[in-house]
């Protein structure tokens, strides 16, 4: 365990300036760690690292109310797991439990009364699972839904089997949706009175070959919208969501690119994360493998004057509050290469971005009025070794 700032010093800092300090958590593959970061006065400092999320930490879900952090380990060699940690004001993570699970859990959401359910998407094993996490010291598998494909999809290299990639709770808390990159479908589950999740058929169909990866809901005065970021088509599909009893009905509204009309993304681009801003007015997506922005280099002690590095973009769209339509407002640097995961703070004023191919986490300022990202506020080295570094970062809020 690496301690850079003592717990005592950190608590002292909190007492002096409670509003200025923020904790963030990042997962990375190459150092097999969950890294705790402290953001204070424009400095991002590594406070702690835990190796208890196994060999390939890939996703974090925070139960802020209960002070519990769940970490998914993809387990590339087969030994996948979910770890529960108790969080603390000092940033120290205390391991509560480690539960072996089906291979390649990649994303999760809490759901149900008192956040007693955790729903998880499994990529390689084509499954959607739920866990009873009512006692985070004793995680228990509750339900497994396996998917099969009768024939490969239009992109057989990636669609040879179902690949469930995300699990998101809808704004009513009554449904979970799970995009399946391999099946060109978004599976829908109804949340029961306890933590049961019943599949609602048929699943929402996407365009053939779209490869839906991650999704996000927005709730505006005109209704509820679902946005799917499609890894294979590199487009965002918008759906209007309507509820009828125990059914969630999705009507496709549009499918838009991450570039203005007439422009296209380079070959090798892979859509990654999608988030809706807390005020429900903007959508942000991360686009991997574009490698076509140049930004000032980050270096401890300052980079040489004029030094530049390559970055992929974070693309922001405004949401038309009356129709749910998206319009591009900005294509900003993500802070480096391969921005697999990022998150927005609750105030909407900061975006933290994990750069998988650069062993870096960068925090950018965000203007909540314009939805535009501004300057880098802080950055830190996270991960160690070549490639497959930090893949996700989350604010402790």
Size of the site for ligand NAG (CB under 6 A): 8
Nearer to ligand NAG, 47 or 127 (CB): 127
How is residue 393 written in tokens?
């970062």
Residues 145-184 within binding reach of ligand NAG (CB under 6 A)? 146
Nearest Cα residue to 120 out of 170, 87, 55, 74:
74
Per rule CB under 6 A, is residue 198 in the interface with ligand NAG?
no
Find the shortest distance in angstroms from Cβ 138 to ligand NAG: 21
Find the shortest distance in angstroms from Cβ 145 to ligand NAG: 7
Nearer to ligand NAG, 94 or 370 (CB): 370
CA distance 96 to 84: 5
Nearer to ligand NAG, 146 or 294 (CB): 146
Find the shortest distance in angstroms from Cβ 129 to ligand NAG: 9
The residue within the footprint of ligand NAG, chosen from 50, 125, 206, 311 (CB under 6 A), is: 125
CA distance 223 to 288: 31
- 271-to-104, 120, 212, 259 alpha-carbon distances in Å: 19, 20, 9, 12
How is residue 172 written in tokens?
């009513």
- Chain CA centroid to CA 136, Å: 21
CA distance 332 to 362: 13
- 339-to-33, 50, 226, 335 alpha-carbon distances in Å: 18, 22, 22, 8
Nearer to ligand NAG, 124 or 396 (CB): 124
The residue within the footprint of ligand NAG, chosen from 66, 95, 144, 196 (CB under 6 A), is: 144
- Chain CA centroid to CA 287, Å: 13
Residues 342-381 within binding reach of ligand NAG (CB under 6 A)? 367, 369-370
Per rule CB under 6 A, is residue 140 in the interface with ligand NAG?
no
Residues 91-120 within binding reach of ligand NAG (CB under 6 A)? 102
Find the shortest distance in angstroms from Cβ 369 to ligand NAG: 5
Residues 6+ apart with CB under 8 A from 12: none
Written in H, E and C, the secondary structure of 284-321 is EEEEECCCCEEEECCCCCCCCCCCEEEECEEEEEEECC
Find the shortest distance in angstroms from Cβ 276 to ligand NAG: 19
Per rule CB under 6 A, is residue 127 in the interface with ligand NAG?
yes
How is residue 146 written in tokens?
């396996």
Nearer to ligand NAG, 126 or 159 (CB): 126
Nearer to ligand NAG, 146 or 222 (CB): 146
Find the shortest distance in angstroms from Cβ 55 to ligand NAG: 19
Find the shortest distance in angstroms from Cβ 99 to ligand NAG: 15
Q: Residues in the site for ligand NAG, rule: CB under 6 A?
A: 102, 125, 127, 144, 146, 367, 369-370
């Amino acid at each position: 365990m690496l301690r850079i700032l003592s717990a005592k010093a950190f608590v002292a800092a909190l007492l002096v300036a409670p509003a200025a300090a923020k904790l963030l958590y990042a997962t990375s593959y190459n150092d097999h760690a969950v890294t705790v970061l402290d953001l204070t006065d424009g400095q991002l400092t590594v406070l702690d690292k835990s190796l208890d999320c196994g060999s390939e930490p890939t996703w974090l879900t925070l139960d802020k109310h209960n002070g519990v952090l769940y970490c998914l380990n993809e387990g590339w060699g087969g030994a996948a797991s979910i770890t529960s940690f108790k969080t603390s004001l000092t940033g120290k993570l205390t391991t509560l439990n480690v539960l072996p699970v089906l291979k390649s859990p990649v994303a999760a959401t809490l759901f149900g009364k008192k956040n007693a359910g955790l729903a998880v998407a499994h990529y390689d094993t084509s499954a959607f699972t739920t866990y009873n996490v009512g006692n985070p010291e004793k995680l228990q598998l509750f339900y497994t839904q396996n998917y099969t494909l009768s024939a490969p999809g239009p992109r057989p290299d990636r669609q040879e089997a179902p690949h469930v990639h995300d699990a998101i709770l809808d704004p009513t808390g009554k449904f979970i949706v799970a995009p399946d990159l391999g099946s060109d479908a978004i599976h829908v589950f109804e949340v029961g009175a306890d933590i049961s999740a019943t599949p609602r058929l048929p699943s929402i169909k996407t365009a053939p070959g779209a490869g839906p990866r991650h999704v996000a809901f927005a709730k505006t005065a005109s209704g509820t919208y679902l946005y799917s970021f499609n890894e294979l088509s590199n487009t965002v599909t918008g759906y209007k969501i309507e509820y009828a009893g125990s059914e969630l009905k999705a009507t496709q509204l549009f499918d838009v690119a991450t570039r203005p009309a007439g422009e296209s993304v380079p070959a090798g681009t892979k859509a990654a994360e999608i988030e809706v801003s807390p005020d429900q007015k903007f959508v942000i997506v991360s686009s991997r493998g574009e490698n076509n922005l140049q930004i000032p280099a980050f270096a401890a002690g300052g980079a040489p004057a004029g030094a530049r590095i390559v970055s992929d973009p974070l693309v922001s769209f405004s949401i038309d509050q009356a129709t749910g339509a998206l319009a591009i407002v900005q294509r900003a640097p993500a802070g480096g290469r391969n921005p697999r995961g990022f998150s927005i703070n609750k105030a909407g004023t900061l975006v933290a971005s994990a750069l998988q191919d650069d062993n870096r986490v960068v925090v950018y300022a965000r203007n909540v009025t314009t939805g535009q990202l501004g300057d880098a506020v802080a950055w830190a080295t996270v991960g160690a070794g070549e490639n497959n570094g930090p893949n996700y970062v989350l604010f402790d809020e």
